[in-house]
Amino acid sequence: MRLSRYFLPTLKEAPSDAQIVSHKLMLRAGLIRQEAAGIYAWLPLGLRVLRKIEQIVREEQVRAGAVELLMPTLQLADLWRESGRYDAYGPEMLRITDRHERELLYGPTNEEMITDIFRGYVKSYKSLPLNLFHIQWKFRDERRPRFGVMRGREFLMKDAYSFDIDEAAARKSYNRMFVAYLNTFARMGLKAVPMRADTGPIGGDLSHEFIVLADTGESEVFCDRKLVEMPAPGGDVDWNDLQSIVDERTALYAATEEMHDAARFERETAEGDRLSARGIEVGHIFYFGTKYSAPMKARVAGPDGKDTDVHMGSYGVGVSRLLGAIIEAGHDEAGIIWPDAVAPFDVVVINLRSSDAACSAACEDAVARLEAAGKDVLYDDTDERPGGKFATADLIGVPWQLTIGPKGLADGVVELKRRATGEKVSIPLDQAMTRLTA
């Protein structure tokens, strides 16, 4: 992609109402543009990152056995009346009446709709377990939307819903999502700690938040340091027996500020392992039994032939929120530092003198070879001054910067910089290609 033909509206300064690092950098780097309070347009660079995050989430859901569908953004109010949540949910729900006076709502979550879909088709325990997920835009009318995509009103979420014959089976489904979440966030370069959480308006008696530790996090969290150091389980686990993995992590102390018990923390955690930090919630999982299936009559015939209410769970990941969390966890004074897996481009090739034929030819050759190797390449072919080119490359956070200029070509070298460490080396172009495509 040639930068001269790309749409990348960067800013030297963030708007004064941007309060946290991720919001400032997303605006400055041209990832998003605010259209209304808590509502953003996703510009090309931001959309590229959003899609990469979305794909990682999707792949790990499928690996864990979930099946993808897509539900609409608008829902019938009558479904929510069946569950008893329509009046209880509060002013965060955007309620709508269409031209035929039908009451609708812009979905803040999808427990009712997925239960309606399930009860319309599944009649026997032989079809269980079943986990259905989608990745869809949602709306919650926050009283004070702030912090950019961290607390917006419109947001992209992955939500999955499990259906099982009884509590024992449902807890196995819960464990699958627990492990899938650990793998998901690890693939994005994040250390996410599962913490016992309040179930809130979703309901239920078992819930965990997945918290990314970041100095600029929105709330204080407390946990055993060993949880942060544990590697992700990986995709080659025995998906039918995950209890030991879950037990290993839930046996150690971890709590959000709201759930924190200082006396218990001191009692259960060695002094050297007590970690108090700031954190950002990026995922939330719930098991809530028959909270929705009972009032909405989502039943299946059991092994004895009798109808029984299915046991359910729901599992959310804030896909758009993750961009903010990743930036909060990875940035410096110059801009964003993207993990390789979610970066908008793998390499930015910087042409220091686009008017120089030899320099441009070398850049074109490098771009062609990188793209042939399957790399996403941004080619800065603009006539901007070198300082401006370097500032833009650092700001948008592309993991590798390959700089080609007339002086270096005369000496037979190019400059290769790793954004995360700042390390620079001057090496022949062929060696740079080997490092970038290995």
Contact 280, 325 (CB under 8 A): yes
CATH number of 345-437: 3.40.50.800
Q: Distance (Å, rounded) from C-alpha 8 to C-alpha 309?
A: 52
Q: What is the spatial order of strands in the sheet that 377-380 belongs to? A: 377-380, 347-351, 400-404, 414-418, 424-427
Contacts (Cβ under 8 Å, ≥6 apart) of 230: 248, 249
Residues in the chain: 438
Amino acid 199: pLDDT: 56
Amino acid 197: pLDDT: 76
Query: Domain boundaries in the chain?
Result: 3-336, 345-437
Q: Distance (Å, rounded) from C-alpha 260 to C-alpha 117?
A: 38
Amino acid 274: pLDDT: 96
Q: Where are the alpha helices (DSSP H) in 305-385?
A: 319-329, 357-372
Amino acid 200: pLDDT: 57
The b/e string for 333-354 (b: 16+ C-beta within 10 A; e otherwise) is eebbbbbeebbbbbbbbbbbbb
Contact 370, 429 (CB under 8 A): no
CA dihedral 33→39→42→48, nearest 10 degrees, is 130
Which residue carries 């953004």 as its tokens?
73
CATH fold of 3-336 reads: BirA Bifunctional Protein; domain 2 (3.30.930)
Which residue carries 């607390």 as its tokens?
151
Amino acid 204: pLDDT: 52
The pLDDT tens digits along the chain (438 residues) read: 999 999 999 999 988 889 899 999 999 999 999 999 999 999 999 999 999 999 999 999 999 999 999 999 999 999 999 999 999 998 999 999 999 999 999 999 999 999 999 999 999 999 999 999 999 999 999 888 888 999 899 999 999 999 999 999 999 999 999 999 999 999 999 989 999 876 555 445 689 999 998 887 888 999 999 999 999 999 899 999 999 999 999 999 999 888 899 999 999 999 999 999 999 999 999 999 999 999 999 999 999 999 999 999 999 999 999 999 999 999 999 999 999 999 999 999 999 999 999 999 999 999 999 999 999 999 999 999 999 999 999 999 999 999 999 999 999 999 999 999 999 999 999 999 999 998
Amino acid 104: pLDDT: 97
The b/e string for 207-242 (b: 16+ C-beta within 10 A; e otherwise) is bbbbbbbbeebbeebbbbeebeebebbeeebeeeeb
Q: Is the pTM of this model over 0.85?
A: yes
Distances (CA, A) of 298 to 218, 291, 348: 38, 11, 53
Contact 253, 193 (CB under 8 A): no
Residue whose C-alpha is closest to residue 177's, from 279, 65, 280: 65
Amino acid 146: pLDDT: 84
The b/e string for 105-132 (b: 16+ C-beta within 10 A; e otherwise) is bbbbbbbbbbbbbbbeebeebeebbbbb
The dihedrals phi and psi of 435, each to the nearest 5 degrees, come to -65, -35
The neighbour count for residue 2, using CB atoms within 10 Å, is 13
